[in-house]
Each structure stands twice: as structure tokens, then as C-alpha cells.
């Protein structure tokens, strides 16, 4: 083989190698562009805006509003705002109801569907998952009409039996009523994740346990649940993040009750500050605080559970 042929072969191999190196980045570029435009840039702008504030220059009625650098003033206002942190207290009550019930029902349904010789498994999976496909606002409206005494079929039945109306959107029943919407919508999604993890467990483990005389309850408690711990951690993390981002349900139910204020949860207060009070800087600072808090809680949860769930203590 001549030297020119070897040189051409070498150049061709380098070109092929360069193209192979470039191919993954070509496929990733649309996702990267979307990430930068719709996530990175808004986050950077929100952080920048949180250090700005409006200042009125000039005296009298002809003052001009100007945006100026205010440093950490908006963060100080956020951390000294009683309404903002009262919203976190309501989130805690809501989360104590919604997260355990959602995960518990999702795990229960997944275990039931994973039983041998279960009937109508495909129909049951679809039926449990369908509520997740209903948009949150639509689900809130549906449940809201079921909650209202004037439109609730349950109250009509109670009235026919001589009982008083059942008030759901007032008092201590308000938090379970709001949590019920998220539970109804979220169980199916979490169930699919856990069920998929259950289907990945080798059948040999189940058969060996049955040969040793283990019941289905013992198999579920001692084999299935420990092996799907990573899926439980993942769904728990999703549920926790969803709790901190609660907005659609109480906002939709707000016209139906006097118990839900404009600042009932943190995101509702941020929306009010941004669009009702035209205080975008304070809303940006509150959003940054909420985002950092969500990140910290997520990292702490993963650190607390990763050794047991993933078998990694690093």
C-alpha cells in the first residue's frame, strides 16, 4: 500500500471519528436549546430581578418610577413576611395528608396488580391511571362542584334522608378536601412507577419464597417492598416537590369558599405580589427562596434514603 493511500485512509478515519464525536451533540442540541431558553435564562433573570426594586424619583405627583439595585432588601422582606411562611405551615398540613396517602394507595394498587392470576389487570391499570391524564384545573373544578352544597349529589342524597348539608370547604375538612384532588390525580402516576419496578423483580425470587411456604403478604412485605425502595423514594420525591408547588387546586377552589385567601400557599402569594401588586422583585426573591428550599429538601431526602434504598452510602 502506497504512502498516499495510507494518508488518505488516515484522514478518512479522522473525519469519521470527528463525525462520531459530533453526532451526540447534534441530537442533544434541541433539548439543550430549549433548556437554555425556557429554564436557564428565566432562572438567571429571576435571580437578577430579585436584587432590583422600584424607586420613585422626583417629588410630587409627577414622580417617575425607576428600577434600581436594592441588594438583599427583597430577601429580607421575604424572610420577615409572616404571610409567606404561614403558607408553608398550610403546605405542611396538606403534605402530611396528601403525600403518605398518595404513596400508600399507589403501593397498595401496584402490589394488588402484581399478584399472580389477578383479573382485569390491564383495565385496572388504565382505570387507576386515567385521573392523572385529567388537567389539574379541570379536576379541581369537578371536585369543587362535588364539594359545593348546592351542586353536590351527596348532599342531595343526605337531604332526601333528612340530614343536613355536608360542608367540605370549611373548617377542618378544607385540607382533606384540597388534598383529595391531588391524591385522586397522583395515585395513578405513582402506581405505574412502582408497578414497573415490581415487574422488574425476577420471578425466581417469588417462586422460591412460595416453595418455602411464604404467603403473598409475606412476599410483598419481605421481598417486593424492599426491592422497590428506589421507586418509592422517587415517587416520594415527586410528591414532595408537587406539594411545595401546590397552586392550581386552591386557586381553582378559592371562588367557592371564603377559607382560601390570596396567600393561602406560597405560590399563590408570589402570584399576587407579581401580578396584583406589581411587585415583581419581591415575587422573584420569594420564588428563589422557594426554589432553593425545594432543592435543599430534595437533597436532604435523597441523602437520608439513598443508603437504604440504593445501597450506596457515599
> Could you tell me the CATH number of the domain that includes residue 205?
1.10.3720.10
Are 36 and 134 members of one domain? no
158 inside domain: yes
272 inside domain: yes
76 inside domain: no
Q: How confident is the model at residue 4 (pLDDT cuts 50, 70, 90)?
A: low
Are 241 and 201 members of one domain? yes
The one-character DSSP state at 134 is: S
pLDDT value at position 314? 45
For 12, residues 6+ apart whose C-beta sits below 8 A from its C-beta are none
β-sheet bridge partners, residue 239: none
Are 46 and 87 members of one domain? no
Mean pLDDT across the stretch 33-62? 83
66 inside domain: no
Domain count, the chain: 2
**Domain residue limits at 237:** 81-310
The rounded percent of the chain whose pLDDT value lies above 70 is 88
Q: CB atoms < 10 A from the CB of 65, how many? A: 11
99 inside domain: yes
Domain end, chosen from 11, 33, 50, is at 50
Are 190 and 119 members of one domain? yes
pLDDT value at position 313? 47
71 inside domain: no
Angle at 35 between CA 188 and CA 266, to 5 degrees: 60
Mean pLDDT across the stretch 189-196? 94
Query: Out of 21-25, 50-54, 91-95, which region has the weakest mean confidence (pLDDT)?
Result: 21-25
User: Is the pLDDT at 254 greater than 90, yes or no?
Assistant: yes
74 inside domain: no
Q: How far apart are CA 110 and CA 236, in angstroms?
A: 15
Are 46 and 85 members of one domain? no
215 inside domain: yes
Are 166 and 226 members of one domain? yes
Task: Provide the whole-model pTM.
Answer: 0.84
Q: How confident is the model at residue 309 (pLDDT cuts 50, 70, 90)?
A: low
Are 9 and 131 members of one domain? no
- The per-residue pLDDT for range 205-235, each reduced to its tens digit, is 888 888 888 888 899 998 999 999 989 998 9
Are 14 and 88 members of one domain? no
Strand blocks (E) in 58-160: 64-69
Q: How far apart are CA 184 and CA 233, in angstroms?
A: 20
Tell me the H-state helices in 36-71.
Answer: 41-50
User: Is the pLDDT at 307 greater than 80, yes or no?
Assistant: no
The three-class DSSP label of residue 53 is strand
Are 248 and 296 members of one domain? yes
The dihedral formed by the CA atoms of 67, 73, 79 and 84, expressed in degrees to the nearest 10: -20
Are 34 and 121 members of one domain? no
User: Is the pLDDT at 78 greater than 60, yes or no?
Assistant: yes
The answer to whether residues 66 and 43 touch, using CB atoms and an 8 Å cutoff, is no
Mean pLDDT across the stretch 131-155? 89
Are 141 and 87 members of one domain? yes
Are 113 and 215 members of one domain? yes
Q: How far apart are CA 255 and CA 224, in angstroms?
A: 44
User: Is the pLDDT at 113 greater than 80, yes or no?
Assistant: yes
Amino acid at each position: 500500500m502506497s504512502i498516499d493511500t495510507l494518508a488518505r485512509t488516515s484522514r478518512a478515519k479522522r473525519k469519521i471519528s470527528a463525525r462520531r464525536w459530533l453526532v451526540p451533540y447534534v441530537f442533544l442540541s434541541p433539548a439543550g436549546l430549549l433548556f437554555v431558553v425556557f429554564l436557564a435564562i428565566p432562572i438567571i433573570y429571576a435571580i437578577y430581578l430579585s436584587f432590583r426594586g422600584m424607586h420613585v424619583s422626583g417629588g410630587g405627583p409627577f414622580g417617575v418610577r425607576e428600577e434600581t439595585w436594592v441588594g438583599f432588601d427583597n430577601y429580607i422582606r421575604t424572610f420577615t413576611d409572616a404571610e409567606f411562611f404561614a403558607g408553608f405551615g398550610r403546605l405542611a398540613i396538606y403534605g402530611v395528608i396528601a403525600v403518605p396517602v398518595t404513596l400508600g394507595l399507589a403501593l397498595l394498587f401496584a402490589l394488588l396488580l402484581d399478584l399472580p392470576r389477578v383479573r382485569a389487570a390491564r383495565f385496572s391499570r388504565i382505570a387507576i391511571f386515567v385521573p392523572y391524564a385529567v388537567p389539574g384545573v379541570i379536576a379541581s373544578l369537578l371536585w369543587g362542584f362535588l364539594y359545593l352544597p348546592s351542586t353536590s349529589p351527596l348532599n342531595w342524597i343526605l337531604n332526601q334522608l333528612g340530614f343536613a348539608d355536608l360542608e367540605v370547604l370549611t373548617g377542618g375538612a378544607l385540607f382533606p378536601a384540597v388534598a383529595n384532588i391531588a391524591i385522586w390525580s397522583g395515585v395513578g402516576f405513582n402506581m405505574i412507577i412502582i408497578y414497573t419496578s415490581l415487574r422488574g423483580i425476577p420471578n425466581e425470587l417469588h417462586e422460591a419464597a412460595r416453595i418455602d411456604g411464604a404467603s403473598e403478604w409475606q412476599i410483598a412485605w419481605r421481598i417486593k417492598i424492599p426491592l422497590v425502595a428506589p421507586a418509592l423514594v422517587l415517587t416520594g420525591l415527586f410528591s414532595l416537590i408537587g406539594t411545595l408547588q401546590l397552586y392550581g387546586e386552591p386557586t381553582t377552589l378559592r371562588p367557592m369558599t371564603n377559607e382560601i385567601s390570596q396567600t393561602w400557599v406560597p405560590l399563590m402569594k408570589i402570584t399576587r405580589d407579581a401580578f396584583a401588586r406589581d411587585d415583581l422583585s419581591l415575587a422573584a426573591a420569594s420564588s428563589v427562596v422557594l426554589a432553593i428550599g425545594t432543592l435543599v429538601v430534595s437533597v436532604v431526602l435523597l441523602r437520608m434514603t439513598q443508603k437504604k434504598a440504593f445501597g450506596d452510602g457515599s
